[in-house]
Amino acid sequence: MFELLALFLFSKTISEIKGWSLIGKDIAPQTTITVLGKGEVVVKPDIAAFSFGIQEESLVVGEAQEAVAKSEAAILAFLAESGVAKDDVKVSGYNIYPRYEYGVTESRSYPQPDGKQVLAAYVVTESVEVKVRKLADAGKIIGQLGELGATNLSGLTFSVDKEEEAVKQARAKAIADAKASARGLAKDLGVSLMRIVSFSENGDFPGPIYYAKAEMGMASAGRAAPELPSGTNKITSQVSITYEIR
């Protein structure tokens, strides 16, 4: 009995001494390789978006509002006839404010300001945002809006309706590229790929393309519709995959 107890204590002591030899030493890290992959997808914008204003003024607020409403009705009817969906037209602002001018006094030579402000008119403005999903019609629509009372057209942008699909495609290409690199590297090293232990992604997903404001003048009657080159967007995905190897 005493011999068995002594043997047990001796074995335990040897085990602890071996453990002491590991104190302060680094444990071997997991054996891994990391590969990078890149994928690109070039997409052509399919939506044009812009905003415009309607402005009328009168000494009677109601008259100015009626004039704005009349112009708005004509413009909405035109947009509907042009194939723009009702949900793609949104009023983004409506303002009413007085406009003052300085009074003048008559003199022998010429009228002179008398330093007093007088009400010139009440100004009513409305801002409208529009999306055109058929790019071929965008120039024609913009060219006609001026004839219907629209002013201050601005903020023209081109974007992709379903950009998330292009992002997924770019990511899939990047992952396939990384996996191919991993297989080739594993073959060269003479190792086997096991499980994926980490994954990360960086991407370049550009937003809407902004069109130069100086080139967005509205066409007048009898003139050709403005050309609106929309260009292309390049969506890029870059991934990093770390594999356990044996």
Taking the C-alpha atoms of residue 190 and residue 167, their distance in angstroms, rounded to an integer, is 34
What's the pTM? 0.64
For residue 48, what are the β-bridge partners?
A: 132, 158
Taking the C-alpha atoms of residue 24 and residue 26, their distance in angstroms, rounded to an integer, is 7
pLDDT value of residue 58: 96
Residue 219's pLDDT band (cuts 50, 70, 90): very low
pLDDT value of residue 131: 95
- What is the residue extent of each domain of the chain? 29-46+160-246, 48-157
pLDDT tens-digit series, residues 180-189:
999 999 999 9
Q: What is the mean pLDDT of the chain?
A: 82
| Angle, helices 61-81/135-145, rounded to nearest 10 degrees | 150
pLDDT value of residue 213: 46
pLDDT value of residue 104: 66
At residue 221, does pLDDT exceed 50? no
pLDDT tens-digit series, residues 181-211:
999 999 999 999 999 999 999 877 666 666 5
What share of the chain in percent tops pLDDT 70? 73
Do the beta carbons of residue 171 and residue 237 sit within 8 Å? yes
According to DSSP H, which parts of the chain are helical?
2-20, 61-81, 135-145, 163-189
Lowest mean pLDDT among 22-36, 42-56, 108-122, 206-220: 206-220
Residue 220's pLDDT band (cuts 50, 70, 90): very low
Residue 48's pLDDT band (cuts 50, 70, 90): very high
pLDDT tens-digit series, residues 59-115:
999 999 999 999 999 999 999 999 999 999 999 999 999 999 887 666 555 555 666
Topology (CATH) of 29-46+160-246: Translation Initiation Factor IF3 (3.30.110)
Residue 233's pLDDT band (cuts 50, 70, 90): confident
Higher local confidence (pLDDT), 90 or 46? 90
Task: Tell me the CATH class for 48-157.
Answer: alpha beta
At residue 28, does pLDDT exceed 70? no
